[in-house]
A and B are shown apart, each in its own frame.
Chain A
Amino acid sequence: MASSVRQMTRMIEEETANPAQARRGGALRLAGLHKRYGATHALKGVSLDIEPGEFIALLGPSGCGKTTLLGAIAGFVEIDEGTIALDGAMLTAATPPYARNLGVVFQQYALFPHMSVERNIAFPLEIRRLPRNQIDVQVARAIDMVDLRPYATRFPHELSGGQQQRVALARALVYAPPVLLLDEPLGALDRRLRDTMQAELKNLHRRLGTTFIYVTHDQDEALAMADRVVVMRAGRIEQVGTPLELYERPVNDFVARFVGECNVLEGQWRQGGSRHELVHAETGKVLHRSSSAPAGPAARIALRPEWLQVTSLGADEPNAVRGKIMQSRFHGSETLLNVTSPLGELLVRVPYASRFRFGTDGADIVMKWNEEETVLLAD
């Protein structure tokens, strides 16, 4: 892997030395997309603007429509309503997949089994009728880009999953498409390989400037790689934002729970001096404090596990509560605690540095939070 990074650094230097060759990704405008499969309404009015060169992740549970959306952009799925525009040009039913000039990386790679790595990667260039010597040069560059030079003449069934993955990438990028669509490409790989590939993909994106649209159900992956994340549920977009925005300011319960672990607590609004306080009904603890007027009598907040500080004192403070540890799971850099408390069942994340602040299962702890920083959820 180290050699791969070195090679890529070398290539980046080459590319920046000749800026005219630097590629620019395509801009996509999706407006009001609807798709029905019989009784199922797979896309319910999806609209999205994707800027050139962005890395967008489509994130959501199975059946949320993210794969349908990708299929619609690629041209495999015919939409019932709405428009798709690439750099201003409309992509309609009259533009079949082979006329769209997009790159697609499939979940099972879809490498042509009867062609070697080189022939697979050369395929799109041959279709575009490029002269033979130019094809050879570009194929060689693509193979080096994904670090597969020793395997160039091998056949797909002779490669490992990770290597097949890279061939699929090289094949989809060799003709410099403005947009690259990736359908859960890392799903079949083991954890360690997945981490490595995530880093490589991100590097590739930065180097090439191509717009990446990445479908995944794994929120860790989406947060790690994307510039912006689109969270989808049941055919609709729930929220679009940077990973940080989604993490710190989820708009509703679903996004809060789907992106990262989350405790969700309910409270009643009451006046506390000049500001409004959200108070937990049974215990009277202050969950949230805000200056703006509340929307209704009650509301819910999201409290991320790492926002709960474990202390030993102050259980009677309005922003602290005592609890009992039901289960603890050690994850090296942090420990996860399942705690029962008067506020309900809470998940707490304690960093390694604070590992001495709590006892074993069954012990009492005190948890503190900052009521200004909890996130108010719309419904």
Chain B
Amino acid sequence: MQSARFNSPAVTTWAGWGLSTLLLVIVFIAPLLLVTWRSLGDPLFQNYVAVAQSEAIQAIMVRTIRLGLIVTLACAVLGYPAAYALVRVDPRWRTLLLAAIMLPFLSSYLVRTYGWIAILGNNGLFAGIGGWLGWSTTSLTGTLSGLVVAMTHMLLPLMIMPIFTSMSAIDNRQMLACQSLGAGPAESFVRVYFPQSLPGLLSGILLVFILSLGFFITPALIGGARETTLSQVIYMFINELFDWKRSSSLAVGLLLVIIILFVVASRVVDLGMMFGVRRGTTDTRRSGRAARTGRLTTIIARAAAGLPLQHHGLGLCRVALGLSLVVLLLPLVYVLLVSFQPLRLLALPTEGLSLNWYRTVLGKSEWYDATLNSIAVAGLATLIAFTIGLFLATRARTASGILRSIITTLALGPIALPVIVLALGIYAVFIQLGWTGNIFALAFAHAIVALPYVFTNMANGLAGYDTTLDQAASSLGARPWTSFRRIKVPVLRTSIVTACVLAFLISFDELVITLFIAGPALPTLPVRMWAATSQNISPELAVVGTLLTLLVLVAFGAIRLFDRRRRAAHHAS
């Protein structure tokens, strides 16, 4: 039947729009406007010109772009075959492997960066292997290669997922058809498979490149002085020099570059696919830009037809998948092991295991306080982000073209911004409002970072939701609120739980914005860890990191157990 005219009570609508506008304006739009304002001088673009003419800055810009390109290449080379192997894996294993790929996202960003510091360091894995092989044993921190490895780890899942989704939609039997028609594996791949996987590949490439431009934490901790990126310069200008003009002009410049890149990208790929937002209830995605093959494809195909090893293609891809898993999981494993190191070294415990550092950490009250602060802020932020994200996702579904684009852009915007730019802006706004050091303000700021994830999850959940269920409930006598509570929420439970958990973890892990606006009275766990880094690097941080990851895993396990009990109870009743 025709779409239901379900008018929720006016109060809900007004409250929803009011709260959404409040959030979006205060911690998203206003910060951007304020930063832009600060960047303008007299004459208007004087700061931009000054910054662009600085040779040091130019060098750093070139380095940032170079880093981005290398990381993107690394992710593509590793991620594409890995995704291919993933699609062809036994379905029973696939869920597990997908969970393993997404697992790093669940654990703290800082923790993983520490893991890499340990692995790349003087006493780390590479040094150890190098020494064993007779090569140099210097630390890889502060080098381009070290940084590339660490950033590849951070961004690899974002390359794998769109490619995986794109490949999942390709019918396996097409390759069989190719071979029955006489084409070998390599030629079939070039002519038929690759063009169809291209949208996913392009999505991944663009997303990884754009995000790598704005990276802050990893280059700051691992890149060191030699591999400075633009984000660090922006931070340095404010944090050490209090130079708003240069800082904000750089920030706005970076922002503009990224916006332009996204606009260009939207001509080539479906931005919705890039961020994982589904349209409609069908799983197969049509990007609207059909893959075309032409003379170039034919030339490459003919060349590829003679390639050696082409029948071992799947084997090679499996190797890539294995390597990807190693890259993704190594830091977590390493952190766990390092936490048992008895000495004050960031190295694997070769002299036996010890719980020294655990005792040290559990004895310090500052870690407990920081954890409690983080939990409180994350709880508040989740509440705010979920309410607004759900509201906007619902409205985006029923809205017309222009309004829908506006809502989606605003809801997803924060994810595309370099976090340093957003942090700078929010800092500027909060100073004006006198909100620094306030727990509710901090939660508000965290909510905007979590919002895109909530929005995406709820939008996808709603896309898969059968709206005739609402009609059925209404025809049976249920008022809108009852119908929402008893039908929509339970059916969408998975999306809701995922959205809330993600929001919580993101807020819990948030560092950059918190660094700017949380005063010394309100240290969250990441801030404490960051401070500890500048003071010393010891297994103490590895212990904190391990405990954190453990906490998250236990929480997840508890949720799944609880979930299973509820299902069983339902069946029994």
Chain A residues in the interface with B (C-beta under 8 A) = 67-68, 70-71, 74-78, 96-104, 106, 108, 110-114, 116, 123-124, 127-128, 153, 155, 171-172, 175, 183
State whether B2 touches A98 (Cβ < 8 A): no
Chain B residues in the interface with A (C-beta under 8 A) = 1-5, 466, 468-469, 471-479, 482-483, 486-487, 490-491, 493, 570-571, 573
Kindly provide the distance from the CB of A67 to the nearest chain B CB, expressed in whole angstroms. 6
Please provide the 5 A-B residue pairs with the shortest distance between their CB atoms, ordered closest to farther. A110-B472, A104-B475, A124-B476, A97-B474, A71-B1
State whether B471 touches A116 (Cβ < 8 A): no
A-B contacts besides A101-B477, A114-B493, 12 pairs, CB < 8 Å: A68-B2, A71-B2, A75-B475, A98-B476, A98-B477, A104-B475, A106-B471, A112-B491, A114-B491, A116-B573, A155-B571, A183-B1
State whether A98 touches B468 (Cβ < 8 A): no
Bound CA–CA A183/B475 (angstroms): 13
A-B contact pairs, 25 of them (CB 8 A): A74-B471, A74-B475, A75-B474, A75-B475, A76-B4, A76-B471, A76-B474, A77-B2, A77-B5, A98-B473, A98-B474, A98-B483, A106-B1, A106-B468, A110-B466, A111-B472, A112-B469, A112-B473, A112-B491, A114-B491, A123-B473, A123-B478, A124-B477, A127-B482, A153-B571
State whether B490 touches A114 (Cβ < 8 A): yes
State whether B1 touches A77 (Cβ < 8 A): yes
Interface residues of chain B: helix, strand, loop or mixed (majority): helix
Closest to B470 in A: A110
Closest to B3 in A: A76
* Neighbouring B residues of A98 by C-beta, 8 Å: 473-479, 483
Kindly provide the distance from the CB of A95 to the nearest chain B CB, expressed in whole angstroms. 12
Given A77-B2, A127-B482, A110-B474 contact (CB < 8 Å): no
Bound CA–CA A172/B468 (angstroms): 14
* Neighbouring B residues of A175 by C-beta, 8 Å: 476-477
Bound CA–CA A172/B2 (angstroms): 19
B1, B3, B4: residue with the most chain A Cβ atoms closer than 10 Å = B1
Bound CA–CA A96/B472 (angstroms): 13
Kindly provide the distance from the CB of B2 to the nearest chain A CB, expressed in whole angstroms. 5
Bound CA–CA A98/B435 (angstroms): 46
Closest to B571 in A: A153
State whether B477 touches A127 (Cβ < 8 A): yes
State whether A102 touches B475 (Cβ < 8 A): yes
* Neighbouring A residues of B1 by C-beta, 8 Å: 67, 70-71, 74, 76-77, 106, 183
State whether A123 touches B476 (Cβ < 8 A): yes
Kindly provide the distance from the CB of B183 to the nearest chain A CB, expressed in whole angstroms. 40
* Neighbouring B residues of A103 by C-beta, 8 Å: 475
State whether B471 touches A104 (Cβ < 8 A): yes
* Neighbouring B residues of A113 by C-beta, 8 Å: 491
Kindly provide the distance from the CB of B8 to the nearest chain A CB, expressed in whole angstroms. 12
* Neighbouring A residues of B478 by C-beta, 8 Å: 98, 123, 127
Closest to B466 in A: A110
Bound CA–CA A110/B488 (angstroms): 13
User: Among B466, B476, B479, B482, which residue has its beta carbon within 8 angstroms of that of A171?
Assistant: B476
Closest to A154 in B: B571
* Neighbouring A residues of B471 by C-beta, 8 Å: 74, 76, 97, 104, 106, 110
User: Among B2, B3, B571, which residue has its beta carbon within 8 angstroms of that of A67?
Assistant: B2
Kindly provide the distance from the CB of A280 to the nearest chain B CB, expressed in whole angstroms. 46
Bound CA–CA A216/B179 (angstroms): 46
Kindly provide the distance from the CB of B492 to the nearest chain A CB, expressed in whole angstroms. 10
State whether A76 touches B5 (Cβ < 8 A): yes
Given A76-B2, A106-B472, A128-B491 contact (CB < 8 Å): no
* Neighbouring B residues of A153 by C-beta, 8 Å: 571, 573
Bound CA–CA A112/B478 (angstroms): 13
B5, B469, B476: residue with the most chain A Cβ atoms closer than 10 Å = B476
